[in-house]
Each structure stands twice: as C-alpha cells, then as structure tokens.
C-alpha cells in the first residue's frame, strides 16, 4: 500500500528528528531512505496546561521546527522532517521518563498494579511543503500485574532510565 | 459462575444506590434480588483534585455512604449497598453530563471527531460487612466519526441530557 508513496519520498531528503532506535527501525522497515538529525528542542511543556494530544503534538512540533531551523539553508534542502513525541498516560495523568530508580519503581507500580489500562499517546509533526501537519495516535496497553520483586529487579537493570517508551 | 454467590446474596437485603435504568437491568440480568434506593449525595468533587479512578470511586463511595445513613436503623438491616459512578474521559479530561444542548454538541464533537479512543471509567463502592470496598473498571470505546449534522440531529432528540452514559 505504501510502495507508490515510498518511491516519491525516496526522491526527497527525508529527515527523522529523533535519536530513538525504535523509530529508526520502524521507518527502515518500510524501506524509506532517511537520515537522522536529533533535535535540541527542550521538552519543557507544562502537562497541566495541555490535553494529552496537545502535549505530544506540540512537543513533536517543537522537535520538527528545531531541526527545520538547523537545515533550512542547506543544499539539498530538506523535503520532509518527521518529529515524534510519545507519552504514557494512566488514570488521567501523563508519565514522563523516570528521573531515577526510585521514580521508575513508583511509575511502574502505578502502571502495572491497578489493573487499569495505560494509554500511550504518540504525537507526530511532519514538515512538508512549508507546512507542519500534526496528528495523534493512541495505543491502549493492558499490563500484566507485576510483583514488587519483579519491578525492582527490572529497574535494577538500568533499562527504564534509558529506554522508557520511545523517548 | 455467579450462581453460588447469587444464592447467598438473595438471603440478604441488597440495595442499589442508583436510579439508573441500565444499572438496574444489569443487576436483574444476573437474577439478583435487590431494591433501588437512589442516593441524595451531591456530586460535587473537583475533577482537578482527583485522578479519574479516585474521582469515580469517591463519588461512588459518597452515594453508598449516603444510602447507608438512610437505612442503618431499618429492620431488616441492609446487607449490601452498591453505589456506582461512571465518567467518560477523553484526551486526559473528564466529561460530565452535558448542561444543555450546546454543551452536548461540543462534548459529542470532542468524543467523535478526533479519531482518538474514549476511556469510560466506572467506580464501584460496595458496603458489606461494615466496610466499603471500592474498585474501578475502564472500558475503551472507539467512536465512529459523526458529522455535525448527525450530532445536531441526535442532540435535538433531547436524549443526551437525560441519558449520558449511566449518570
């Protein structure tokens, strides 16, 4: 289904404004040619001032704009810039990347021990034809119940601080 | 699966603290004998001070406590009181019952035109053995996209003001 589009996209300079390994693999899996230029956008929006979709779309827009500013005078010009932001939400709250192991344990307990689903919000901002187009996708995740021991053992690997969702 | 429990429950006075027709039908469908005594609990919790599950569980608890106070000196004593509160949530916000037709149109547009799922939170508070037990269930609903004309036509029937979820 994507093949006719991929052909067109491979004629322009496509930039992924993200250093996420998972996003890189996703784009590679559709045979898109692209380069990776992470943004320096400071992710400092105040969650209490935004709905979930506003928050992730505005952060994604910030990343895309930041990379556009870096590249706008280059030759060849960028043809498409893709910025993305992902946020885990649960019971009406957004959960950012944990600050430390204690924070990671608290978050994972919240997300896994209540039996309630988590909604993962992903905002996408695509610069193309001198405009930024944004949209949000939501994935609902039902987590297995984890014991305190399982959570502490996982957090002690250090992975949650590096690799919490796609951030 | 419920049959052994239903037998026991039919030996005690079970009270549903709600005037919702849908809740009444649900309980009837499991062959439970119960009476209906709606609560006078004023539903005035401030959404910004609660997570979604806290909000619906605390409101359900308020309804159950209110009906318990009404019945505690009666003979036969109540054996179980069931209070319930349901709240539609979307994109990080709770949506209460619409105040008027204009409000109903705004809410239904929000819930149906973005393509994002709605999470319906139901809090239950059961008084039994002199304690109140609470829990929350979440149902994720994907709404069809409705046109403005369809929404306005539905709202003009008056139904959303009477029958918004189970409230």
Catalytic residue among B85, B91, B110, B119: B85
Question: What gap in Å lies between CA A88 and CA A76, rounded to an integer?
Answer: 36
Q: Is B138 on the interface with A (CB under 8 A)?
A: yes
Mean pLDDT of chain B: 91
pLDDT of residue A123: 97
How close does chain B come to A58, measured CA to CA in Å? Answer: 14
Residues of A in contact with B93 (CB under 8 A): 51
Contact (CB<8Å) A91/B52 = yes
Among B83, B50, B116, B66, smallest CA distance to A140 is for B116
Q: What is the pLDDT of residue A8?
A: 85
Q: Who has greater pLDDT, A163 or A108?
A: A108
pLDDT at A83: 97
Report percent pLDDT > 70 for chain B: 96
pLDDT in tens, A72-84: 999 999 999 999 9
When pLDDT is cut at 50, 70 and 90, the band that residue B147 belongs to is very high
Domain residue extents for chain A: 12-162
Chain A residues within an 8 Å CB radius of B142: none
Question: Across the interface, which of A94, A117, A136 has its CB nearest the CB of B116?
Answer: A136
Single out the residue of A150, A124, A153 nearest to residue A137, CA to CA.
A124
pLDDT at A160: 83
Distance (Å) from the alpha carbon of A93 to chain B's nearest alpha carbon? 7
Q: What percent of chain B clears pLDDT 90, i.e. is strictly above it?
A: 71
Burial class of residue A35, CB neighbours in 10 A (0-12, 13-18, 19+): exposed
As for the ipTM of the complex, it is 0.74
Mean pLDDT of chain A: 91
pLDDT band for B165, please (50, 70, 90 cuts).
low
Q: Do A117 and B136 touch (CB under 8 A)?
A: no
Q: Is any Cβ of chain B less than 8 angstroms from the Cβ of A114?
A: yes
CA distance between the termini of chain A: 29
CATH of the domain spanning B3-162: 3.90.950.10
B93 touches chain A (CB under 8 A): yes
Phi, psi of A39 (to 5 degrees): -85, 160
pLDDT tens, residue by residue, A29-66: 988 999 999 999 988 888 888 999 999 999 999 999 99
User: Do B91 and A140 make contact, defined as CB atoms within 8 angstroms?
Assistant: no
Q: Please give the Cα distance from B144 to A2 (Å, whole number).
A: 25
- Active site residues per annotation of A: 85
Q: Which of B51, B116, B136 shows the shortest C-beta gap to A93?
A: B51
Q: Supply the pLDDT for residue A164.
A: 58
Q: State which residue of chain B sits closest to A47, comparing Cα positions.
A: B92
CB atoms A51 and B93 under 8 Å? yes
Nearest-CB residue to A116 (from B53, B91, B116):
B53
Q: Is residue A163 very low, low, confident or very high in pLDDT (cuts 50, 70, 90)?
A: low
Looking at the complex, does the CB of residue B65 fall below 8 Å from at least one CB of chain A? no
Which residues is B81 bridged to in the sheet? B15, B127
Nearest CA in chain B to A115: B137
Beta-carbon contacts of B97 under 8 Å, excluding residues fewer than 6 positions away, are B161, B164, B167
CATH number of A12-162: 3.90.950.10
**Considering chain A, what percentage of its residues have pLDDT values greater than 90?**
71
Q: What part of A 5-64 touches B (C-beta under 8 Å)?
A: 51-53
């Amino acid at each position: 289904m994507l093949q006719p589009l991929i052909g067109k996209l491979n004629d322009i300079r496509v930039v992924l404004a993200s250093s996420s390994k998972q996003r890189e693999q996703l784009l590679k899996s559709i045979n898109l040619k692209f380069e990776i230029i992470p943004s320096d956008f400071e992710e400092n929006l105040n969650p209490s001032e935004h709905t979930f979709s506003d928050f992730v779309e505005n952060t994604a827009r910030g990343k895309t704009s930041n990379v556009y500013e870096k590249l706008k005078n280059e030759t060849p010009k960028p043809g498409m810039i893709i910025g993305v932001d992902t946020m885990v939400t649960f019971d009406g709250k957004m959960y950012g990347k944990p600050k430390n192991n204690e924070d990671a344990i608290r978050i994972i307990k919240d997300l896994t021990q209540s039996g309630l689903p988590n909604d993962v919000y992903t905002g996408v901002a695509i610069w193309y034809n001198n405009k930024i187009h944004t949209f949000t996708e939501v994935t609902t995740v039902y987590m297995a119940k984890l014991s305190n021991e399982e959570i502490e053992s996982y957090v002690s690997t250090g992975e949650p601080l590096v690799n919490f969702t796609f951030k």
